[in-house]
Amino acid sequence: MSKLNNLVLKFPRTVIALSLLITVIMLTFVPSVQFEPDVKKMIPDDFPAVRNLDILDSIFGGSEIIVVAVESESIFTPAGLKKFASLETLLGDVVGVERVISLYSAKEITGGAGILLIENLMDEVPETLEGINSLKETVAKSDLVYESMVSKDFDALAFFLRLGATSEVNDKALRDEILGIIELYNGPENIYLAGLPITRAGIVETMQSDMKSFMPYGILLMIFLLALSFRSWMGVFLPLSVVIMSIIWTLGLMSMLGIKFTMISILIPVMLIAVANDYGIHIIAHYFENFKRKKFTEKDANIRETIASLNKPIFLAGITTIVGLMSLLGHFLPPAKELGLLAGFGVFVAFTLSLTFIPAALKNLRIPPWIAHGGQDHRFNRFLQGCGRFFVRFKRTVMVVAVAGVIIAGLKIPTLRIDTDPIHYYREGSEIRVNNERISEDFGGSSQLSIIVTGDIKEPATLRRMKEISLFLEQQPAITRTLSIVDQVELLNEAWHDGDPAFRAIPEDKIAMGDTVISGRSQVAQLLQFLDEEDVEQLVQMEENTITFETEFVRAQIIARINRISSAEILELNQKVDEFIETNYSKAEVSPVTGSASIMGTLTDLIARGQLRSLAISLVLVFLVTSLVFRSFQAGLYCVFPLGGAVILVFGFMAYFGIELNTATSMLTSILIGVGIDYTIHFLWHYRQFVRKGMDGQEAVIQTLTTSGKGIIFNAFSVMVGFIILMVSGFLPIFFFGFVIIFSIGMCLIGALALLPALVVWTKPRFIFGEAKSES
Amino acid sequence: MNLNRLRTDRDYLFSVIIGAVTAVIAGIMIWNGLTWLWNWFSVAGGESSEWLAIWEFCKTNLSILIVIYGLMSLQASGLAELKYGKNFLKAFGLALILTPPVMMVVYGHKKE
């Protein structure tokens, strides 16, 4: 380390120029960073839910739907229905939309005496009130239309837009085109638009607007905080330069690795604004303090002493922060891994630049005149001394209060909820949420689960299997309705038998027709011939038999529409359905549940498990690193103890305020441990130094608080101020992340400056006092 | 550039070389940025009035403009502090309120 310091002080201009050169090179990569709003991309590609969704997309040509709903009391009138008659055609022409289904194109199956008629449910819009009433009666009888395309009260119509394979659709262009069409129908009716592609388009826009606010306002806040803390240009400019350079290097690396911004990774610049100035702040504070205490009058000597006394704690704090952040590599979610990698890299850059760029710059800059003249901040010192005395005197009380707080918070943790629904990224009352809620109320939701059944679909046995699954799904309260080829077969069979409701069933395996017996499969095949290919292509996969030239149905999907429920409930539903499938069918017959809603359920599971795993990894790694550096497992425990308490308090705090664990807040603990460990290390390191110099426990606490304690407080406040900017986010998870991280850093600060002094004075650990005794 | 120093001071030599490369890359980036801005302005100005286009640009990029203003104020107050021995906080506050050039005129240059 001293060789590096010598090199930096020998070539300060080269170090500065080199830092700027790398920054400029990295800056050239930054503009090509892209945004990724897809919730599916949050889950590893090899997870069953994603794999099955890809299979589903490739077989049935896209599993996503957009719902356009028109709501008005006068919608079911001749004028109302006429107004929106052309909407289906216009929506069908939108690029990316494969098919539109609505009342205007809904089919009605009728027949009898060996004739089947499949006609439009509404050929023309009725002109009279009687006609409208008759249409209402027909709609009410149709399972496929009532409460699906027409609301229960006949005051809303829905247009379902089925999209092509997900990868081919540009969400924003799609949404803008649909909005353009809707604009043409602007009138007294309320028009709602919902669906995952619409949500994704909104997410990209919110991410872009967040990025535009986070970095500039975060930097501005940091300028004010550093200006007030150091009251010197140097104290602002140098840590800020390190922050800006580390952000540029990190974003440059992000672009080079092809990593896109997700709702999680938009946190990276803010995290670096908050955390990356840590090391610079400690160096500048120490450098200024040396001048103020008239320890040095020469720049060079001061820089050497500052770096010599800080390089170890800074190195240790940097390593533990990197380890804490990198523990996210153990998370299950790819964006969390990316965040860990990139934030870890950013912190590495920051602490490297703090030990190279800042000393090099200090060597080339003038000493601020008022600092060169000395002068101490007595009021602040007196405050810190008072705090030190208080925590030492009431050490037992401090410990009891802390332990009681942790226990109370811990008891609340079981009520902590997990939520991954992208709709909940937005505040209540926001347009995107209102649209989804209205559509869910009227038409049973805009997200769906799918199950793929493999086999000869025309075989009654296979259809019965599908029917069993559908019935099981319909028993689940969250599922509003199911749709499969079975519904069509039953309707056709009923119509074939003169509309006799007794025949609204799957044909038997063998059917006697006079003297002859025909197979149920032949009967089903005959019935299905009446359907157009486009009516069934979403529900079955067709293949031509090269021997018989018959169109075979080799796979079919059962679609279940889901009402608005929490993602934890979706996970429960996923597990229940999967268990049912596993118990009753082989994997070759029925695949596990998939679909857009299933992705949310899987995500919920991964967040919970990933949270525990990254938390455990970060605590163990921090324990090992600190044990190694202090050469004592006891020291490792003393470092981890306040952090463990802070983690429990944070989870309890979240549970108490109803803040859910989601994709953003699940990153909290690793960041908390990575950042919070710095305070503990700085305190213990300097405390041990003062004890080694022969001070008693209380005196060492006061000395530590008035020297490194200042740096710790400045640093904690700069981190909190850095994260405050997250509270302007358009995303609720990010807003709450900002709120909770500020609380958690506050807890870490209290842990390091109140709990730790009380603990070390009370317990007199060997790794601090034992060595002092042996030395003396 | 001090040629004598280039021969004797290796640190100076290296920094000049690296600085020149940095300046070239930065120059290209600034040129590209200005070209983009000019193109954007030409297109936006063509659609509506130029002043309206500028106003829209400022509105869209308000946060970036504010931070640039903050950084300019910071640099000006740094100059006032280190060169003229002024109180940094006072200079920074004045630069933010009065704009950096006005701060330099009314406070930054004065000798006490």
Nearest one of A453, A458, A461 to A509, comparing CA atoms: A461
Residue A208 sits at the chain B interface (C-beta within 8 Å) = no
In this complex, the residue of B11, B21, B88 whose CB is nearest that of residue A231 is B88
Residue B24 sits at the chain A interface (C-beta within 8 Å) = no
* Polymer length in residues for chain B: 112
Task: Please report the sign of the dihedral spanned by the C-alpha atoms of residue B32, residue B34, residue B35, residue B36.
Answer: positive
CA distance A345 to A326: 9
Give ipTM to 2 decimals: 0.90
Nearest one of A741, A709, A672, A715 to A278, comparing CA atoms: A715
A227–B64: do the CB atoms touch at under 8 Å? no
DSSP state of A1: -
Residue B19 sits at the chain A interface (C-beta within 8 Å) = yes
Residues A520/A507, Cβ–Cβ less than 8 Å: yes
| pLDDT value of residue A375 | 58
The mean pLDDT value for A358-368 works out to 89
The mean pLDDT value for A639-652 works out to 88
A216–B64: do the CB atoms touch at under 8 Å? yes
- pLDDT (tens digit per residue) in A36-81: 777 677 778 777 777 777 777 777 766 677 888 888 888 888 888 8
CA distance A47 to A148: 32
3-state secondary structure of A366: coil
B92–A11: do the CB atoms touch at under 8 Å? no
| pLDDT value of residue A243 | 94
DSSP state of A413: G
Nearest one of A109, A610, A580, A723 to A340, comparing CA atoms: A610
3-state secondary structure of A187: coil
User: What distance, in Å, lies between the first and last C-alpha atoms of chain A?
Assistant: 28
| pLDDT value of residue A609 | 83
| pLDDT value of residue A652 | 92
Nearest one of B14, B82, B85 to A7, comparing CA atoms: B14
Alpha helix segments (H runs only) across A61-101:
78-83, 87-92
pTM to 2 decimals? Answer: 0.79
Beta-bridged to residue A543, according to DSSP, are: A552
To the nearest whole Å, the CA of B85 is away from the closest chain A CA by 6
In this complex, the residue of B26, B61, B67 whose CB is nearest that of residue A219 is B67
The two tokens of residue A267 are: 């946190």
**Residue A772: which pLDDT band, with cuts at 50, 70 and 90?**
very low
User: What are the distances in angstroms from CA A155 to CA A92, A104, A151?
Assistant: 23, 15, 6
Please give the radius of gyration of chain B, using alpha carbons only, rounded to the nearest integer: 20
Residue A728 sits at the chain B interface (C-beta within 8 Å) = no
Residues A577/A454, Cβ–Cβ less than 8 Å: no
The mean pLDDT value for A742-755 works out to 89
Task: Please report the sign of the dihedral spanned by the C-alpha atoms of residue B15, residue B19, residue B22, residue B24.
Answer: negative
Residue A373 sits at the chain B interface (C-beta within 8 Å) = no
CA distance A393 to A386: 10
**Residue B27: which pLDDT band, with cuts at 50, 70 and 90?**
very high
Strand ranges, E, within A575-639: none
Identify all chain B residues contacting A237, using CB atoms and an 8 Å cutoff. Answer: 74-75, 78
The two tokens of residue A319 are: 């390593």
Q: Give the alpha-carbon dihedral of A58, A59, A63, A65, to 10 degrees.
A: 110
Residue A11 sits at the chain B interface (C-beta within 8 Å) = yes
CA distance A247 to A253: 10
B11–A223: do the CB atoms touch at under 8 Å? no
The two tokens of residue A139 are: 């709609």
| pLDDT value of residue B20 | 94
The rounded Cα A505 to chain-centroid distance in angstroms is 44
Nearest one of A143, A388, A347, A135 to A245, comparing CA atoms: A347
Q: Which of A16, A24, A215 to mutate to test the interface with B (most CBs of B within 10 A)?
A: A24
Residue B2 sits at the chain A interface (C-beta within 8 Å) = no
Beta-bridged to residue A558, according to DSSP, are: A451
Residue type, A173: A
A776, pLDDT greater than 50: no
Residue B27 sits at the chain A interface (C-beta within 8 Å) = no
CA distance A533 to A551: 10
Return the residue of B nearest to A244 by Cα: B71
3-state secondary structure of A347: helix
Q: Which residue has the higher pLDDT, B23 or A265?
A: B23
| pLDDT value of residue A169 | 62
A771, pLDDT greater than 60: no
Residue B49 sits at the chain A interface (C-beta within 8 Å) = no
CA distance A200 to A589: 33
Nearest one of A25, A252, A15, A29 to B26, comparing CA atoms: A25
Residue B88 sits at the chain A interface (C-beta within 8 Å) = yes
The mean pLDDT value for A691-701 works out to 87
CA distance A716 to A749: 7
Nearest one of A700, A691, A745 to A723, comparing CA atoms: A745
Q: Which long-range contacts (CB under 8 A, 24 or more apart) does B25-30 make?
A: B25/A21, B25/A24, B25/A25, B25/A28, B26/A24, B29/A24, B29/A27, B29/A28
The mean pLDDT value for A595-601 works out to 77
| pLDDT value of residue A521 | 85
CA distance A646 to A745: 8
Nearest one of A717, A706, A604, A622 to A671, comparing CA atoms: A622
Share of chain A above pLDDT 70, in %: 95
A227–B12: do the CB atoms touch at under 8 Å? no
The mean pLDDT value for A757-761 works out to 89
A13–B82: do the CB atoms touch at under 8 Å? no
Q: Which of B15, B61, B72, B104 to mutate to test the interface with A (most CBs of A within 10 A)?
A: B15
**Residue A349: which pLDDT band, with cuts at 50, 70 and 90?**
very high
A774, pLDDT greater than 50: no
User: What are the distances in angstroms from CA A324 to CA A318, A344, A366?
Assistant: 10, 8, 37
Q: Which of B63, B65, B92 to mutate to test the interface with A (most CBs of A within 10 A)?
A: B63
Q: Which residue has the higher pLDDT, A344 or A144?
A: A344
Residue B25 sits at the chain A interface (C-beta within 8 Å) = yes
- pLDDT (tens digit per residue) in A134-175: 888 888 878 778 877 888 888 888 898 888 765 556 788 888
- pLDDT (tens digit per residue) in A364-386: 888 877 776 655 567 777 888 88
Return the residue of B nearest to A226 by Cα: B89
Backbone angles phi, psi at A545, to 5 degrees: -80, 120
Strand ranges, E, within A46-104: 65-71, 97-101
Nearest one of A685, A455, A421 to A565, comparing CA atoms: A421
Lowest mean pLDDT among A93-102, A600-609, A757-766, B67-76: A600-609
Lowest mean pLDDT among A120-124, A314-318, A445-449: A445-449
A538, pLDDT greater than 60: yes
Strands A115-120 and A107-112: antiparallel
CA distance A326 to A621: 10
In this complex, the residue of B25, B74, B78 whose CB is nearest that of residue A24 is B25
User: What are the distances in angstroms from CA B52 to CA A542, B43, B60?
Assistant: 57, 12, 12
A241, pLDDT greater than 80: yes
Beta-bridged to residue A192, according to DSSP, are: A69
| pLDDT value of residue B46 | 61
- pLDDT (tens digit per residue) in A544-554: 877 777 778 88
**Residue A567: which pLDDT band, with cuts at 50, 70 and 90?**
confident
Q: Across chain A, what does the average pLDDT equal?
A: 84
**Burial of A511 from C-beta contacts in 10 A (0-12 / 13-18 / 19+):** middle
Residues A186/A87, Cβ–Cβ less than 8 Å: no
Residue A211 sits at the chain B interface (C-beta within 8 Å) = no
In terms of phi and psi (left: phi > 0; alpha: psi -120 to 50; beta: otherwise), the region of A549 is left
Residue B29 sits at the chain A interface (C-beta within 8 Å) = yes
Residue B30 sits at the chain A interface (C-beta within 8 Å) = no
CA distance A685 to A22: 33
- pLDDT (tens digit per residue) in A608-631: 888 888 888 888 988 998 888 888
B88–A368: do the CB atoms touch at under 8 Å? yes
A528, pLDDT greater than 70: yes
Residue B112 sits at the chain A interface (C-beta within 8 Å) = no
Lowest mean pLDDT among A428-432, A462-466, A634-638, B91-95: A428-432
Identify all chain B residues contacting A219, using CB atoms and an 8 Å cutoff. Answer: 67, 70-71
Q: Angle A466-A469-A474 (CA atoms, 0-180°, nearest 5)?
A: 125
User: What are the distances in angstroms from CA A120 to CA A125, A138, A139, A599?
Assistant: 11, 11, 12, 35
Residues A312/A396, Cβ–Cβ less than 8 Å: no
